[in-house]
Amino acid sequence: MSTQDWETFKQKFNSKSNINLNDYKPTQMQRRIGNFMNRQGAGGYLEFFNMLNTNPKLYKEFVDYLTINVTEFFRTPEKFAELETKVLPDLLAKNARLNIWSAGCSIGAEPYSLAMILKDMTPGTKHRILATDLDVEMLEKARKAVYTTTEYKNISNARQSKYFKLEGTNYSVSNDIKGLVEFKKHNLLLDAFETGFDLILCRNVVIYFTEEAKDALYRRFLAALKPGGVLFVGGTEAILNFRDIGFEHYLPFFYRKPR
């Protein structure tokens, strides 16, 4: 498949989806797309784009495949334990009501995990938890807050009994937790950022981004945080140049904006 066809495919797909594949590592992205194309029997990038352009179901399946909607409650429990016992108490000591952003929230497990923690830590206080994602179907699932047995894990027995209800074979999040999270569609690589956040979580989202795209994204996160605010990233996403960006080290995979 020619370089020119790849460039043309990226341009056409960007026009259709507002997803700029130039922000993703080309080798990994070509491999992922190639695997998907082969399963569909496409002979090349342009034939594949025509398939996407004429088959809405296939297009949706492909966007889901690209945006990697994999998540779970309290993902990497030991890091959520640090969030609960160290990071949030430090932030709450300075601000009684926190402004938090879960960026790339997928099906909502991450912001709901955070809401449960804050409900236990500060009963009666309503913090702002903004949860965003590019995928509107994932956002709709997040708003419904009903999860399968496979998705329902890493949750303590106490929180299961307090914040979930069994509905048939699925588990639904309680209304008081659902009411703590605000969901919105947002493209991290394209849309403007709000500012004034105490905490931003962006975990297991940037795995296929280029180093340039990640650097630009982390600088925008820095600008979106209050002085003393914290960025929480995934367990494989250590920011090696965090000092060059402007962060200070706080805890492993937590980076703080200087006060």
Domain boundaries, the chain: 3-67, 77-256
Give φ, ψ of 59 to 5 degrees: -60, -45
The pLDDT, as a whole number, for residue 153 is 84
Count of H helices and E strands in the chain?
A: 12, 10
What pLDDT is stored for residue 44 in this prediction?
92
CATH number of the domain located at residue range(s) 77-256 in this protein:
3.40.50.150
Cα–Cα distance measured from residue 49 to residue 198, given in angstroms and rounded to the nearest whole number: 41
Question: For residue 215, what pLDDT is reported?
Answer: 95
> In the chain, where does DSSP find H-type helix?
3-17, 26-40, 45-54, 56-67, 77-82, 88-92, 109-121, 136-144, 157-163, 175-178, 211-224, 242-245
What pLDDT, on a 0 to 100 scale, did the predictor assign at position 18? 84
| pTM > 0.95: yes or no | no
How many angstroms separate the CA atoms of 101 and 201, rounded?
Answer: 6
pLDDT tens for the chain, 259 residues long, are 678 999 999 999 999 988 889 888 888 889 989 999 999 999 899 999 999 999 999 998 898 788 766 678 998 899 999 999 999 999 999 999 999 999 999 999 999 999 999 999 999 899 999 999 988 889 999 999 999 888 888 899 999 999 999 999 999 999 999 999 999 999 999 999 999 999 999 998 888 889 999 999 999 999 999 999 999 998 888 999 999 999 999 999 999 999 9
Q: Which tokens belong to 147?
A: 């999860």
